[in-house]
Amino acid sequence: MFSIIGPSTLRTLCRSLPLFGLLAALSACIPPQDKKIEGVRIDLNDPVSHLIYNHQNARNSDSLIYYLSSENSSYRYLAARAFGSFPEISDTALDELSGLLDEDNELIRTAAAYALGQSGSLRAADSLAQAFDGSGTYRAYNGTLLAAVGKSGGQKSQDFISKISTYTNQDTLLTAGQAWSLFYFARRELQSPAGDAKMLAFMLDESAPYEIRRPAAWYLQRFAVEVDSSSEEQLRQILRTEQDPDVLMGTVRTLGRSGQPAGRVALLRALRAQTDWRVRTEILRALSGFDYSSVREPIVETLSDEHPLVRRSAAEFLRDNGQDADATFYRQLARDSLKPDVRYVLYAAAHRHLPLYFADYRGFLNYDLQEAFTKTTDPFEQAEILGALAEYPWNYRNIYELYQKSDQPMVRSAAAGALQRISNREDFNVFFKKSSRRVRYDLSIYFREMIYGLEAGPASEAGNALAAKGDIYRPFYPEIDWMSTALMGFKLPRDYDAYLAVDAARVALGGEETPGPEEAGAPVKPIDWKLIGTDAGKEVVIRTEAGRIVLKLWPDIAPATVSNFLELVKSGYYDGKVFHRVVPNFVAQGGGLLGNGYGAEDFKIRTETPGVRWDRSGLIGMASSGKDTEDVQFFLTHRATPHLDGNYTIFGAVVEGQEFVDQLTVGSKMESITLR
């Protein structure tokens, strides 16, 4: 027998239930209705709004709590949203934010729900679950609340969210909230078969809105989900007919994990037919789930792909998945390559897979690489050559000699990184056999010299190497006071990453743990409101060899970041800087002090994460070593990257020239960045 529950009764029920009882009842709540939102306006010229943003920037929790009870709804909203950027939220702030979940204004209660989710607190998850609105009035809020539970709830919460089955495609915000919740749970390593099945069903439903299918696709792209034969057949059909690249990328990775022959055939067909370079890149990665000989020829063909990041991905496939029998073939491909940007990845593949008894051929490989190193003056090309040399660990002395001879920060840090990879090899003792101890001794000398040199890049790599194998290197350092001396020589905050790496090495070698330097020794940069008021509405133009990239900044979302960026742009700081890191189908990152990813300026800016998602390509973010450690490095995205949600600042978007972002490679130069 069924009974009809009215909206007010249902809301009272939802608010009174404990966490798991409420989550079980969510599916009974009526579909949401439209509600007009009034009373919130962000005014970047308003002095009180400036105060709230400034309190956020200074992490003044008590001062922000004061504004949570302001009579002005805009100030309550800004204060609630501000807590979404805090690395930690006090119990007092959690209680005050929970109180805002009763707000009539949907924007305010949504901002409070988001901030509670950002806390990652089980206590916050309880408050969120009890505040689910059963009246059907606040649909955007309910969707945000469900997502926030995914950031803060435990496995039992995940199980209940997975089992909600009465939302329909017409309940788009609720169903999307459920999908986002399951995504965030999985990001926290909380998965279940029921959750996997739910997300697979969302993506396979071609009638569902993309607001639901895309988070499901991002889930399948990132997390392993088992599929049966019927689902795999549907995935192959989607691969033939779907146009949305996000859904296609989730489909591709799931078919790759299935390992079924029919899936391989479908992926190879799509590799030749697909026009989106990002999908082709994902297909190459997915093909690693199949027998090498069955995909070898299409991979080799893709080395000539018109897109630089696709052909590089093909070369990386051969390096990571190739076979010994093809090692000499990889060298020939490298020597004959019409595309020099894949040449040294192919040399790395040859070195990695060449059998040890091919001693003469090994000599040819080393000769090719060392001759190429001497002929080029491009530090990024030299860094790639060092990476190829490191694939044969006996090259460690050659790598160290090249490190000593170079004065280029990129080359010296790349050499140190190459030695770290050799040091970290799981087969180190098997490879070097009776010489293992002698090689470890040599490396211990090299790493000590790099740390004493106090260069941010080499010292970081050396510190990381020793930290990873502390027990093994301990006998070579009978005393470690020298590391404490080295730590005192680093300039903070410029060398903060190096400081942390060397300190971790010191602890791994037997030292006592000590607190690191607070705030990296750097002052937090204030927001320049005059600069924002004058220039924030203007567009920013990055001129590169590939073409012109136009950015639109978001000062209302990230005023501290935008203020800092504008100041750097106006001073010409970025002119001539490079993109030192490019990960195909992820990001192009650059703008750093030294051009090698290391070193920082003498200030820090705060992480600003007030509720926007990394849910599309062309977003601009700040590189970070953790919350509140940003300064000058930024990155541009190739695709949606929702695994970054809530952890990395978004401060704008590409409005023209995304095709040129996608053409950037390691070493691409920023000829200039200007305002227009």
Question: Homologous superfamily of 1-153 in CATH?
Answer: Leucine-rich Repeat Variant (1.25.10.10)
Comparing 165-174, 193-202, 348-357, the range with the smallest average pLDDT is 165-174
Which amino acid, 528?
D
Distance CA 139, CA 52 (A): 27
Q: 373-391, pLDDT tens digit by residue?
A: 999 999 999 999 999 999 9
Task: Indicate if the pLDDT at residue 606 is higher than 50.
Answer: yes
Task: Indicate if the pLDDT at residue 24 is higher than 70.
Answer: no
Q: 107-121, pLDDT tens digit by residue?
A: 999 999 999 999 999
What pLDDT is recorded for position 518?
Answer: 58
Q: 525-543, pLDDT tens digit by residue?
A: 999 999 999 888 889 999 9
pLDDT band per the 50, 70, 90 thresholds, residue 38: low
What pLDDT is recorded for position 509?
Answer: 96
pLDDT band per the 50, 70, 90 thresholds, residue 34: very low
As a whole-number percent, the residues of the chain with pLDDT over 90 amount to 88
pLDDT band per the 50, 70, 90 thresholds, residue 522: confident
Domain boundaries, the chain: 1-153, 376-521, 529-675
Distance CA 283, CA 285 (A): 5
Omega within 30 of 0 (cis) for the link into 493: yes
**Mean pLDDT value across the chain:** 92
Q: 239-291, pLDDT tens digit by residue?
A: 999 999 999 999 999 999 999 999 999 999 999 999 999 999 999 999 999 99
As a whole-number percent, the residues of the chain with pLDDT over 70 amount to 93
Phi and psi dihedrals of 215, rounded to 5?
-60, -35
Task: Give the mean model confidence (pLDDT) for residues 363-382.
Answer: 96
Whether 419 and 390 have beta carbons less than 8 Å apart is answered as: yes
Element spanning 380, H or E: helix 379-389
In three-state secondary structure terms, 58 is: helix
Distance CA 60, CA 51 (A): 11
pLDDT band per the 50, 70, 90 thresholds, residue 36: very low
Of 336 and 393, which is predicted with more confidence?
393
Burial (CB count <10 Å: 0-12, 13-18, 19+), residue 647: middle
pLDDT band per the 50, 70, 90 thresholds, residue 521: low
Q: 127-158, pLDDT tens digit by residue?
A: 999 999 888 889 999 999 999 999 999 999 99
Task: Indicate if the pLDDT at residue 293 is higher than 90.
Answer: yes
What pLDDT is recorded for position 27?
Answer: 46
Distance CA 205, CA 78 (A): 38
Q: 204-231, pLDDT tens digit by residue?
A: 999 999 999 999 999 999 999 999 999 9
What pLDDT is recorded for position 9?
Answer: 33
3-class SS letters over 562-574: HHHHHHHHHHCCC
Q: 547-570, pLDDT tens digit by residue?
A: 999 999 999 999 999 999 999 999
User: Which residue pairs from 43-48 have beta carbons closer than 8 angstroms and sit at least 24 positions apart in sequence?
Assistant: 43/74, 44/529, 44/532, 44/533, 44/536, 44/555, 44/556, 44/559, 45/533, 48/72, 48/75
Strand 587-590 versus strand 539-544 pairing type? unpaired
Whether 542 and 549 have beta carbons less than 8 Å apart is answered as: yes
Task: Say what angle helices 155-163 and 139-152 make with each other, to 10 degrees.
Answer: 140
> Are 1-153 and 529-675 equal in CATH topology?
no
Q: 454-468, pLDDT tens digit by residue?
A: 999 999 999 999 999
Instruction: Identify which of 383, 477, 520 has the alpha carbon closest to the alpha carbon of residue 467.
Output: 477
Distance CA 219, CA 213 (A): 10
Distance CA 5, CA 476 (A): 74
Task: Give the mean model confidence (pLDDT) for residues 428-450.
Answer: 98
For domain 529-675, give the fold. Answer: Cyclophilin (2.40.100)
Structure tokens at 203: 């993506």
Which amino acid, 484?
S
